[in-house]
């Protein structure tokens, strides 16, 4: 009876979904939006605009963190961290740069640029892992 219920095929995957669904571009696009909002904020004195800009920038910063966390926890596996020992620190720094001490809590364009730089490094490593 139990043999009938057992799966007939065993499968394994590198990640929780077939590869191809993960891409650091999602984090980069949101981070670019954060940077653009910071730049527009600096050039606009309207208090209503500035309030909306802060709210949207905080939402986008949160999305950056979520996209990075998914890559960090779902895509990258122990062999990647062995090959790229800087990867944990890179993700930690990037998520902090998108957090309260970074773009979520600041309108500083330099923080947004630093975040984009970290994402670019993650992106480079990500695509190297896709080659092998």
Domain encompassing residue 78:
22-131
* Residue 9, in any domain of the structure: no
- d(C-alpha 46, C-alpha 54), whole Å: 12
* Residue 67, in any domain of the structure: yes
CATH number of the domain bearing residue 114:
1.20.120.400
- d(C-alpha 129, C-alpha 82), whole Å: 12
* Residue 117, in any domain of the structure: yes
Q: Indicate the SS3 state at residue 33.
A: helix
| Total residues found in the chain within this entry | 132
Total of domains in the chain: 1
- d(C-alpha 45, C-alpha 54), whole Å: 13
For residue range 63-120, what is the model confidence (pLDDT) as tens digits? 999 999 999 999 999 999 999 999 999 999 999 999 999 999 999 999 999 999 999 9
DSSP 51-76: HHHHHHHHHHHHHHHHHHHHIIIII-
For residue range 29-51, what is the model confidence (pLDDT) as tens digits? 999 999 999 999 999 999 999 99
* Residue 63, in any domain of the structure: yes
Q: Global pTM?
A: 0.84
């Amino acid at each position: 009876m139990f043999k009938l219920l057992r799966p007939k095929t065993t499968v394994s995957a590198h990640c929780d979904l077939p590869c191809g669904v993960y891409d650091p571009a999602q984090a980069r696009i949101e981070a670019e939006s954060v940077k653009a909002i910071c730049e527009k904020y600096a050039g606009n004195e309207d208090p209503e605009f500035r309030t909306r800009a802060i709210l949207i920038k905080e939402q986008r910063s949160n999305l950056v963190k979520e996209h990075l966390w998914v890559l960090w926890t779902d895509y990258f596996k122990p062999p990647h961290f062995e090959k790229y020992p800087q990867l944990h620190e890179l993700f930690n720094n990037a998520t902090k740069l998108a957090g309260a001490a970074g773009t979520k809590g600041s309108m500083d364009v330099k923080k947004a640029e630093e975040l984009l730089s970290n994402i670019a490094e993650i992106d480079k490593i990500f695509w190297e892992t896709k080659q092998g």
